[in-house]
Structure 1
Amino acid sequence: MENATRLFDCINTQARAPRVDLLNAKENGSWKLYSTAEVHTMVYQLCTALIDLGVSGNDGTAAGRDKIGLISNGRPEWIITDLAVQQTGAILVPLYPNTGTKEIEQILNEAEVKFVFVSSKDLCDKVKLVHANIPSLKAIYTFDHIDDCTHWSVLLKPLADGYEQKIKAISDSITENDIATIIYTSGTTGRPKGVMLTHKNIMSNAMASGAVLSQIPLKERSVLSFLPLNHIFEKMCTYVYLYYGFSIYYAENMDTIGPNLKEVKPSLFTAVPRLLEKVFEKIMVQGQKLTGIKRKIFFWSVKVAEAYELHDTSLWYKIKLAIADKLVYSKWRNAIGGNIKAIVVGSSACPVKLERIFTAANIVIMEGYGLTETSPVIAVNCYEKSKRRFGTVGPLLSGVQVKIAADGEILCKGPNIMAGYYKNAELTAEVIEDGWFHTGDIGELDKDSFLKITDRKKEIFKTSGGKYVAPLPIENKMKENYFIEQMMVVGSERKFVAALIVPSYTHLKPWCDKNEIPFLSNKELIKDARVIELYQSIINTYNPEFNHVEQVKKITLLSNEWSIDSGELTPTGKMKRKVIAEKYKTEIDKMYPSEVNENPTFVN
Structure 2
Amino acid sequence: MAGPASDARTVHSLLEEAARAWPEQPALYEAAGSRQWKSITWRQYKTAVEEIAVGLRSIGVRAGEIVAIDSETRLEFYLADLGIMSCGAIAAALYTSYPYTEHVKTLAALEPPVVFVENPKVLAALESAAETPIRTRWVLLTGEADGALTLEQLRAIGREAMSADPGLPAAVLGSVEPGDPAILYLTSGATGDPKMGLVSHAAIVANVDMGPKVTPLGPGDCSIAFLPSAHITQRVAMEILPLRVGMAVYFSEGLARLPQELKSVRPTFLVAPPRVWERMYSNIRGEIRKRGPLAQRVFYVALGLGAEVARRRQEGRDVPAWMLRLLRSADRLVFQKIRERLGGRLRMAVSGAAPLGKDLADFYAAIGMPIHEGYGLTEGGIVALNPMDRVKSGSIGKPLPGIEMRLAADGELIFRGPTLFSGYYRAPEATAAILRDGWLHTGDIAEFDADGYVYITGRKKEVLVASNGKKIYPAAVEGLFKMEPLINQVLLVGDRQPYVAALLTLNLAVAEDLKGMDPWRGKPAAEVVAAGPVVEEVKRIVKRVNRQLAPFEQIRRYHVLDRDFSIEAGELTPTMKVRRARVVENHRKIVSDLFLGREGSDGLG
TM-score past 0.5 threshold: yes
- What's 1:138 paired with? 136
**Structure 2 matches for 1:172-571, cutoff 5 A?**
172-214=174-216, 216=217, 218=218, 220-237=220-237, 238-291=239-292, 293-307=294-308, 308-309=310-311, 310-311=313-314, 312=317, 313-375=319-381, 377-382=382-387, 384-386=388-390, 388-513=391-516, 519=521, 520-564=523-567, 567-571=570-574
- What's 1:62 paired with? none
Equivalent pair of 1:402/1:410 in contact (CA under 8 Å)? yes
- What's 1:128 paired with? 127
Q: 5+ residue gaps in structure 2? A: none
Q: CA RMSD in A?
A: 2.5
Which range moved further: 232-241 or 567-576? Answer: 567-576
Which range moved further: 446-455 or 416-425? Answer: 446-455
The one-letter code sitting in structure 1 at the alignment partner of 2:136 is: K
- What's 2:13 paired with? 9
In 1, the alpha carbon distance for the partners of 2:166 and 2:434 equals 41
In 1, the alpha carbon distance for the partners of 2:514 and 2:201 equals 53
Q: TM-score, normalised by structure 1?
A: 0.91
Residue of structure 2 aligned with 1:589, choices 592, 598, 604: 592
In 2, the alpha carbon distance for the partners of 1:483 and 1:598 equals 17
Which range moved further: 447-456 or 585-594? Answer: 585-594
The one-letter code sitting in structure 2 at the alignment partner of 1:2 is: P
Residue 83 (1) aligns with residue 87 (2): no
In 2, the alpha carbon distance for the partners of 1:498 and 1:45 equals 57
CA drift at 1:304 = 3.8
Deviation string for 1:132-189 (max 9, x for gaps)? Answer: 7476x43111112144353221112145436562122233232221100111112124
Equivalent pair of 2:55/2:155 in contact (CA under 8 Å)? yes
Equivalent pair of 1:479/1:487 in contact (CA under 8 Å)? no
Which range moved further: 528-537 or 331-340? Answer: 528-537
Which range moved further: 320-329 or 198-207? Answer: 320-329
CA drift at 1:297 = 2.2
Equivalent pair of 1:42/1:156 in contact (CA under 8 Å)? yes
In 2, the alpha carbon distance for the partners of 1:471 and 1:484 equals 16
In 2, the alpha carbon distance for the partners of 1:97 and 1:317 equals 49
Deviation string for 1:7-45 (max 9, x for gaps)? Answer: 111222112222432011114554221111221221121
CA drift at 1:343 = 1.4
Equivalent pair of 1:105/1:133 in contact (CA under 8 Å)? no
Equivalent pair of 1:71/1:117 in contact (CA under 8 Å)? yes
Equivalent pair of 1:553/1:597 in contact (CA under 8 Å)? no
The one-letter code sitting in structure 2 at the alignment partner of 1:121 is: P
SS in 2 for 1:123: helix
Residue of structure 2 aligned with 1:25, choices 10, 15, 30: 30
In 2, the alpha carbon distance for the partners of 1:347 and 1:453 equals 13
In 2, the alpha carbon distance for the partners of 1:260 and 1:596 equals 45
Residue 73 (1) aligns with residue 78 (2): no
Deviation string for 1:206-249 (max 9, x for gaps)? Answer: 111332212x5x46410111101121111111211111010010
Equivalent pair of 1:105/1:134 in contact (CA under 8 Å)? no
The one-letter code sitting in structure 1 at the alignment partner of 2:87 is: T
Identity percentage of aligned residues: 26
Equivalent pair of 2:359/2:480 in contact (CA under 8 Å)? no
The one-letter code sitting in structure 2 at the alignment partner of 1:80 is: L
Q: 5+ residue gaps in structure 1? A: 58-64
Equivalent pair of 2:558/2:602 in contact (CA under 8 Å)? no
Which range moved further: 166-175 or 270-279? Answer: 166-175
1:31/1:530 CA distance change after superposition, 3 Å:
closer
The one-letter code sitting in structure 1 at the alignment partner of 2:29 is: N
The one-letter code sitting in structure 2 at the alignment partner of 1:251 is: S
SS in 2 for 1:423: coil
- What's 2:153 paired with? 154
Number of residues of Structure 1 aligned to a counterpart in Structure 2: 588
Equivalent pair of 1:179/1:197 in contact (CA under 8 Å)? yes
1:596/1:531 CA distance change after superposition, 3 Å:
closer
Equivalent pair of 2:49/2:86 in contact (CA under 8 Å)? no
Residue 54 (1) aligns with residue 60 (2): yes
The one-letter code sitting in structure 2 at the alignment partner of 1:578 is: A
Equivalent pair of 1:281/1:506 in contact (CA under 8 Å)? no
Equivalent pair of 1:221/1:268 in contact (CA under 8 Å)? yes
Which range moved further: 188-197 or 249-258? Answer: 188-197
